[in-house]
Each structure stands twice: as structure tokens, then as C-alpha cells.
């Protein structure tokens, strides 16, 4: 697993690379450095899900209340054909 710590980075695209220096070995005593591997990466750092403002939630609640009241009135009103 590879983790990328993005604290201190701004939003946007981050380009980078990592060099891996593998070593091969076994129980018979073989140990030798293998050719290095360069891994290039690109990460898109985006803003996490933002929390709605309290005023937005109040407006949403009022809108739902008005819709519910209108629906209730329509059901209570006698039918006029």
C-alpha cells in the first residue's frame, strides 16, 4: 500500500516520482541489488465534501415546510369541478 500525505499541499495537480531500489535475496545466501525502478505519479488533490452552511439548511427546511403546508391545504380543500 502506498500513502501520500497531502497536508501542506494546496488544491490542484501534484506530479512527482519515486525511485525504488530493490534487493534480491534467498535462504542460500544470495543477495544482490537489482536494477532500480522509477515510478512516476500524478495526483489530483480536491476539496473534501464541504459542510453546508447553517443558513442553507434553514432555507431548505423552510422550503420543505411550505411544500408540506401547500400539499396539506390541497388535500383539505373541497374539490371544485
- Is residue 5 one of the residues assigned to a domain? no
Domain assignment present for 54: yes
SS (H, E, C) 17-80: EEEECCEEECCCCCEEECCCEEEEEEEEECCCCCCCCHHHHHHHHHHHHHHHHHHHHHHHCCCC
Q: Are 46 and 11 in contact (CB under 8 A)?
A: yes
- Cβ-proximal residues to 73 (8 Å cutoff; 6+ apart), any chain: none
In a domain? residue 46: yes
Residue 50 lies in a domain: yes
Q: Is residue 7 part of a domain?
A: no
Query: Considering the entire predicted model, what is its pTM?
Result: 0.38
Domain containing residue 55: 12-76
Residue 2 lies in a domain: no
Number of domains in the chain: 1
- Distance between CA atoms of residues 63 and 79, nearest Å: 26
The confidence score (pLDDT) of residue 65 equals 92
Task: Give a yes or no: residue 30 inside a domain.
Answer: yes
Q: Which residues of the chain have pLDDT under 70?
A: 1-2, 4, 6, 48-52, 77-81
Amino acid at each position: 500500500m502506498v500513502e501520500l500525505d497531502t497536508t501542506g499541499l494546496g488544491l490542484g495537480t501534484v506530479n512527482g516520482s519515486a525511485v525504488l531500489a530493490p534487493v534480491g535475496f534467498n535462504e542460500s545466501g544470495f543477495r544482490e541489488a537489482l536494477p532500480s525502478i522509477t515510478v512516476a505519479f500524478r495526483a489530483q488533490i480536491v476539496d473534501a465534501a464541504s459542510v453546508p452552511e447553517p443558513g442553507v439548511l434553514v432555507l431548505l427546511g423552510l422550503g420543505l415546510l411550505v411544500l408540506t403546508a401547500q400539499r396539506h391545504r390541497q388535500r383539505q380543500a373541497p374539490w371544485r369541478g
